[in-house]
Chains A and B, each alone.
Chain A
Amino acid sequence: MSSTAVDTAQSRFLCLEEPHAHNGTLLGFWIYLMSDCFIFASLFACYAVLGTNTAGGPSAAQVLDLHGLAINTALLLVSSVTFGFAMLEMSRRRKGAVLAWLAVSGLLAAGFVTLEIREFLGMIAEGAGPGRSAFLSSFFTLVGTHGLHVSVGILWLIVLMVQVGKFGLSEANIRRLQCLSMFWHFLDLVWVGVFSFVYLSGVLR
């Protein structure tokens, strides 16, 4: 029988339980996220190396605001969970609830970006802009890259809300929502590194 030959061939490649994916989009997007990990890893490495080179300018302890950071962290974490709720509603095929949770997630992330931009503008106004020292250059590059990712995520979220509103929870829209869900949780994961390494450890160095 040819089917038994296929079975033994598959068992050699760790595929005893799982069938092959019908489309590789989710795996492909996951690999994109892993490559994004490298971008952030290299920016973290820059900050690790340059974080104490203040060139006579303000140090991390002087310019970083931990109270604002706590609010930002909470916003992003709650936004990650509400996006999870949207995905749960998606698997129950409840379009209205999906849109509502997506809107909540988007608003929380928008609050995050707003607070971050205010923090940046405040720092630049105090003379602690990205051009001041190697520490501030690496800080703005790393945190700014993350903020840019979140902003693009919000844009993507708005586009998808329009798509879901117009075409419903079609197969294509479900796939897109799954990709955005991974992106959203991934950004929260990177933020864990940012607040722990850049802010909390930064003010103590």
Chain B
Amino acid sequence: MSHSTSHEHASHGQEHGHGEHANHGSLRSYLTGFVLAAILTVIPFWLVMGHVFQSHWLTITIVLALAIVQILVHVIYFLHLDTRSEGGWNMLSFIFTMVLVVIVLGASIWVMYNENSLMMPMSQQANQGT
């Protein structure tokens, strides 16, 4: 680990020197990212194709949790997002986007699920009423 951090510092020093070159990462960071991503890809495929769990919802929950972890791995090891690049604006815009994405996705699913489960009985009641 100490090797990788010293390497990062070296690349940052270069960044200061040239001013405009962003952190390209190192061979180590790409290979670490690749191994982690491969593991995090194989597990969900195995869970679904091997029918490991009886409960579908348990499998879906684990698959989606692993996807979130893998997305973070991609962001850190492939896109080299850290709190220092571009004076912190990369990280700030990323966090902002993720908050809005969670709101868009979560609220859509929440609203439409409730609409599906609540509207049908209501329309039946309306039919019974008339």
Give the B-binding residues of A (Cβ under 8 A): 13-15, 17-23, 26-27, 30-31, 34, 37-38, 41-42, 44-45, 48-49, 66, 70, 73-74, 77-78, 80-81, 84-85, 87-88, 90-91, 174-175, 178, 182, 185-186, 188-189, 192-193, 195-197, 200-201, 203-205
Chain A residue numbers with a CB within 8 Å of B122 are: none
A188-B78 contact in complex given A18-B87, A21-B87, A84-B25, C-beta closer than 8 Å: yes
Do the beta carbons of A26 and B67 come within 8 Å of each other?
no
Q: Measured between C-beta atoms, what is the minimum distance from B51 to chain A in Å? A: 10
Do the beta carbons of B74 and A196 come within 8 Å of each other?
no
Chain A residue numbers with a CB within 8 Å of B105 are: 41, 44-45, 48
CB-contacts of B16-48 with A (<8 A): 16, 19-22, 24-27, 30-31, 33-34, 37-38, 41, 44-45, 47-48
Majority SS at the chain B contact face: helix
Do the beta carbons of A49 and B112 come within 8 Å of each other?
yes
The number of A-B residue pairs with CB atoms under 8 Å apart is 138
Q: How far is the CA of A13 from the CA of B92 in the complex (A)?
A: 13
Give the A-binding residues of B (Cβ under 8 A): 16, 19-22, 24-27, 30-31, 33-34, 37-38, 41, 44-45, 47-49, 56, 59-60, 63-64, 66-67, 70-71, 74-75, 78-79, 84-90, 93-94, 96-97, 100-101, 104-105, 108-109, 112
